[in-house]
Amino acid sequence: MKKLIVLIAAGLAISAIIGAQEQARHKVLISVDMEGIWGVVHGDQVSSEGRDYGAARKWMAEDVNAVVAGLFEAGATEVVVNDSHGTMRNILASDLDPAAVLISGTPKPLSMMEGLDRDCEAVLFIGYHARAGSASAILDHTISSATIRAIKINGREMPELGINAALAGAFGVPVVMLSGDDETCAQAKTILGDGFVAVAVKSGLGRTSARNLPRTDSLRLLRAGAKEAFLKRKQIPPYKLTPPYSFELDFHNSAQAELPLFVPGVKRTAARSVAFSADDFVEGFRLMRALIALAAS
């Protein structure tokens, strides 16, 4: 009888420990782009064929590592980093904080937001850029500079940060921090409000020129910003749009609007524009990405 009681007690103790460990899990997703990384000002720095790409991808890892450090200091237990630029294999795994999980390569079902799920407590956008057509913003574009002139969702023109924030909101997850140039931070505030943490690591002087913060300052601000953002995550509401969701894609030329019309439910609204609606934002997001791929082909 005593042995049975001991076994039961041991089992309860183990269950309590496992339960406590599960409760203590704090997962965070970092979606990292490249145009908004400190030091980046030109296309040569964000293309694998550019002569300055090697230096920029190191700066990218450094920015992310500063953010990862701040998150762990604030109590995060699992940090997932999704490489979200171009071919999505820019960060060298050996350069990333070994305590972080790296998602690399493309295509991915959720693209820039791969790794997002309802277990995430927060999302951070690092190295993001302004929407296409923004003045004094580094390498401004929306998803595809060769294809997309503008994207509207529910009638509002969206930068990538708004589209991805809405996707996070569909999972009930708030965006708590963004870094990039000053214009990108300003656009984020108009969409997400003032509650989240915005860290401007540079000020745009034009599309391919910027005034960068001293490197030590930028890394310090990124680390401190991530820590602050995670600690206030419960005070920041997810960014949610109201269904049904209307998507309108404005391409650069009329030919790019032709292949998307082969998809049922997609209608032409102008010579170079198509539109569709969706009741589920995740499905709408995936269809949008598919239409952009068709337009680019």
Q: Which residues participate in catalysis according to the annotation? A: 141
Joined tokens for residue 220: 């310090």
Task: Specify whether the CB–CB gap between 288 and 278 falls below 8 A.
Answer: no
Cβ neighbours of residue 32 closer than 8 Å, sequence gap 6 or more? 60, 63, 64, 81, 82, 83, 84, 85, 91, 125, 126, 127
Of 95, 17, 61, the closest CA to residue 222 belongs to 61
Sole residue written with tokens 């183990």: 14
Nearest to 93 by CA among 85, 102, 84: 102
3-state secondary structure of 73: helix
- Please answer whether residues 134 and 187 qualify as being in contact, where contact means their C-beta atoms are separated by less than 8 angstroms: yes
Cβ-based neighbours of 217, under 8 Å, separated by 6 or more? none
> Taking phi first (over 0 means left), then psi (-120 to 50 degrees means alpha), and beta for anything else, what does residue 58 get?
alpha
CA atoms 57, 60, 65, 68: torsion sign: negative
Strand partners, 30: 81, 124
